[in-house]
């Protein structure tokens, strides 16, 4: 079993829909990243969070440390949001190792 | 533009060869991370340097090595290349440990 699990693996939605991507992990972590990777391959860090909630524009990320779960929400989704979203955790081991989820491929149709 | 520069963007080579991938972090960033992304394994952490010193090691093969130089740029050396080493190699940097990461655009390595 992977230490970091994302769901769903693939998600197709219509423009304007509210999107939720989930990430569950089984290890102790110091923080969690949400990353976005567009078809061209480049990776952008959207959020890094260790507790609570963060918001940037139409994107919201939450984390529940006790439940070992994080969610990424996209409000008023747009075709340009189509990308692979990757959850990655920083292990509590003291080393700055990132362990990645397998990614969620999001497609927003106009 | 993240401010992290990776060269070359594409590299095609043959099995058994050795290549060097280069990463220049954002100005002021002390920490450099290397990742490998392959179709079957997804993204994997390879190694991390902080201010010239190795700080963490992940799934890095013995045929691979890296270093961070005094000017903070980093190089990832891959030797005795195999077909399975074909992947996208990303470098990322952060100002200090545990802060937001900024990724380079990656080096696409094809081993033929």
pLDDT by residue (tens digit) across A11-20? 999 999 999 9
Residue B5: in which H helix or E strand, if any?
strand B5-7
pLDDT tens profile B22-35: 999 999 999 999 99
Q: How far is CA A67 from CA A3, A32, B33, B40, B68, in A?
A: 14, 14, 29, 29, 38
Tokens of A51: 């507790």
In this complex, the residue of A31, A41, A98 whose CB is nearest that of residue B106 is A41
As a dihedral over the C-alpha atoms of residue B66, residue A99, residue A66, residue A95, rounded to 10 degrees, the angle is: -20
Running DSSP on this structure, what letter comes out for residue A67? T
Judged by a CB distance cut-off of 8 A, whether residue A100 touches chain B is yes
For residue A29, which residues of chain B lie inside 8 Å, CB to CB?
Answer: none
Rg of chain A, C-alpha, whole Å: 13
Helix-strand-coil percent breakdown of chain A, rounded to 5? Answer: 5, 60, 35
Across residues A6-13, what is the average pLDDT? 97
Alpha helices in chain A (DSSP H): none
- Total CB pairs under 8 A between chain A and B: 55
DSSP state of B85: G
* Residue among B44, B50, B103 whose CB faces A44 most closely: B103
- A88 CB within 8 Å of a chain B CB: yes
Residue A40, pLDDT > 80, answer: no
> How far apart (Å, rounded) are the C-alpha atoms in residues A29 and A101?
14
Element (H, E) at A86: strand A83-91
Say if A31 is an interface residue toward chain B (CB within 8 Å): yes
pLDDT in tens, A100-109: 999 999 999 9
Give the gap in angstroms from C-alpha A109 to the nearest C-alpha of chain B. 25
Q: Do B33 and A48 touch (CB under 8 A)?
A: no
Q: Measure in Å the smallest separation between the Cα of A101 and chain B Cα atoms.
A: 8
């Amino acid at each position: 079993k992977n230490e970091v699990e994302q769901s769903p693996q693939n998600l197709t939605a219509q423009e304007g829909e509210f999107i939720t991507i989930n990430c569950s992990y089984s290890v102790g972590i110091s923080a969690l990243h949400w990353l976005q990777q567009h078809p061209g391959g480049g990776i952008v860090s959207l959020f890094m969070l260790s507790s609570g909630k963060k918001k940037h524009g139409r994107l919201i990320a939450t984390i529940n440390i006790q439940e070992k779960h994080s969610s990424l929400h996209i409000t008023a989704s747009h075709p340009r949001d189509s990308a692979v979203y990757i959850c990655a955790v920083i292990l509590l081991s003291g080393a700055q190792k990132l362990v990645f989820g397998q990614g969620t491929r999001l497609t927003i149709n106009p | 533009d993240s401010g992290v520069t990776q060269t070359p963007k594409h590299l095609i080579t043959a099995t058994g060869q050795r290549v060097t991938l280069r990463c220049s972090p954002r100005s002021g960033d002390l920490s450099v991370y290397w990742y490998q992304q392959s179709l079957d394994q997804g993204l994997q952490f390879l190694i991390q340097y902080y201010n010239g010193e190795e700080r963490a090691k992940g799934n890095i093969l013995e045929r691979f090595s890296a270093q961070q130089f005094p000017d903070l740029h980093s190089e990832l050396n891959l030797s005795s290349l195999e077909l399975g080493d074909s992947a996208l190699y990303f470098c990322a940097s952060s100002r200090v440990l545990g802060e937001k990461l900024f990724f380079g655009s990656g080096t696409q390595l094809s081993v033929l």
